[in-house]
Amino acid sequence: MRGTFVRRRHIVRIAASLGLCLGLQAQAQQEKTLTLALARNAITPGEETFTYAVPKQMGWFKREGLSVGLLKANGSTAALQAVASGSADIAYASSLSIAAAIDKGVPVKAFAGITVQWPYFIGVPPGSAIKKIADLKGKRVGVISLASASYADLRANLKIAGLTEADVSVVPVGAGARAAAALKANEVDAIDSYSDSFTVMQQNGVNLTLLPRPPQMARLFSVTMVTSAAMLKSNPDALARFARAAYQGIVYTQQNPEAALKLSFQEFPELAGSANPGGPDAKNTLAAMKIALGDSIPSGNADPKTWGHWLDIDATRWEALLAFAHETGQTEKRLTPAQVWDGSLMKTIFDFDLGKVR
């Protein structure tokens, strides 16, 4: 009798172990692998911290059944090429670059917002004779790269000011500390870059005066999630799960910036200050991250519970963006929002309680 009981107990243990193994195997089989193309060839305290490092370190991608890897690309155009070629499933790219790619027939589609502000400016050293965009004629202007949104921003600004690219010398200088070094070495007279890049330049001893932007840019937005038309059709649920985890990273970072920075250091030890989280470099990185985060949240609204579906970019803003793209020569055709944006996943993406993200 005792032997029978022992055998039964042994059988139960084997069955339980087998069930656990099968469960883990099924979970592994269900986990979807995604590759995100970042429109930068180096890690910065930008959106890669709060939409990738934070959700990854918090286990939110895994909770969504995703395994997400990162591909660095040299600008928005390169990131879009990665998606179009199948090297990446999702890209973070400038809205203008997305419009330009679709105008050329590249089969991609924006499906979720990341920024609600236009973060690009043209900066000049204090005391410069350059006071407005038109004064750039004959000058050397630094951009991040010729595949970057800063290059597109420069060309748009020049066109509005009645200039062409031929009226200036365009110099790829990178962003942040690299751009600061180019200014210190007198390689350029002005820099077109994004907001947190200017913060890093300031931290590297380069203070710049930002030129007034054309009023048309007030309704623009920049970095947007984009995927291939094929991926949007075949794997919409995976895209929605990725964006949901990324958005929770934004909310978490807004409420816990110091904790988000520590998570970012764990994911990206190459970030300045990771070796000494209490030191001045870490404080500078935190400041730059907060500036970047400001481009992704409603202006002047610090409480996520009141944000609603804030990254569901409405048609009127897309209309303004696409009109700007056409008027400034970024696109040959005047595109419609439906050609560029598919917001059908937004309800699923926002299927979480903003007030409960901790």
Which residues make Cβ contacts (< 8 Å) with residue 195, sequence separation at least 6? 117, 119, 120, 121, 291, 292, 294, 295
**Counting beta carbons within 10 angstroms of the beta carbon of residue 19, is it exposed (0 to 12), middle (13 to 18) or buried (19 or more)?**
exposed
Distance, CA of 76 to CA of 85 (rounded, Å): 14
Q: Decide if 29-117+221-356 and 120-212 have a common fold.
A: yes
Write the CB contacts of 135 (distance below 8 Å, at least 6 apart in sequence).
Answer: 129
The answer to whether 96 touches 149, Cβ cutoff 8 Å, is yes
Return the higher-pLDDT residue of 5 and 259: 259
Does 26 score more than 90 pLDDT?
no
Question: What pLDDT, on the 0 to 100 scale, is given for residue 17?
Answer: 47
Distance CA 75, CA 144 (A): 8
Instruction: Please say if the pLDDT value at position 355 is more than 70.
Output: yes
Q: What is the pLDDT of residue 356?
A: 93
**pLDDT tens per residue, range 170-186:** 999 999 889 999 999 99
Range in 6-20, 67-81, 136-150, 331-345 with the lowest mean pLDDT:
6-20
H-run or E-run covering 3: helix 2-30
Q: What is the pLDDT of residue 203?
A: 87
CATH fold, domain 120-212, is D-Maltodextrin-Binding Protein; domain 2 (3.40.190)
Average pLDDT over residues 292-308: 92
Topology of domain 29-117+221-356 in CATH is: D-Maltodextrin-Binding Protein; domain 2 (3.40.190)
Per DSSP (E only), the strands in 105-211 are 108-113, 120-124, 140-143, 169-172, 190-194, 209-210
At 162 the pLDDT is 95
Rounded distance, CA 336 to CA 90, Å? 22
- The residue extents of the domains of the chain are 29-117+221-356, 120-212
Q: What is the pLDDT of residue 16?
A: 45
